[in-house]
Amino acid sequence: MQPAKINTPASLSGSQASWTLRVHVGTNQDEAIAVNIYAANVAKLFSGEGAQVAQAAPAQEGVQQEGAQQPAPATAPS
């Protein structure tokens, strides 16, 4: 899985970003929890993830996933 690529324009490279996350709880649509998330230099928060994935991918290339089966080798009929 590849991390989301963040394209930050040069004009926004030093700016601050904020998001509001709203989570509905309960059966009533009006019941919600709002969380404000603030981050300075957002690209820096995610810059290490892409490097870690890129470094880990070659090492895991030959690793078999749990539960997966290797295909049986083809044999000539006798």
Grouping H, G, I as helix, E, B as strand and the rest as coil, residue 21 is: strand
Query: Which residue in this structure is represented by tokens 């928060």?
Result: 45
Domain boundaries, the chain: 12-60
Residue 39 has pLDDT above 70, yes or no: no
Number of H helices, E strands in the chain: 1, 2
Task: Tell me the per-residue pLDDT of 10-28, one tens digit each, with 9 for 90 and over.
Answer: 555 555 667 777 777 777 7
CA distance 60 to 58: 5
Global pTM reads 0.24
> pLDDT class for 70, splitting at 50, 70, 90?
low
Average pLDDT of the residues of the chain: 62
Tell me how many degrees the CA angle 9-2-24 measures, rounded to the nearest 5: 80
What pLDDT does residue 30 have? 72
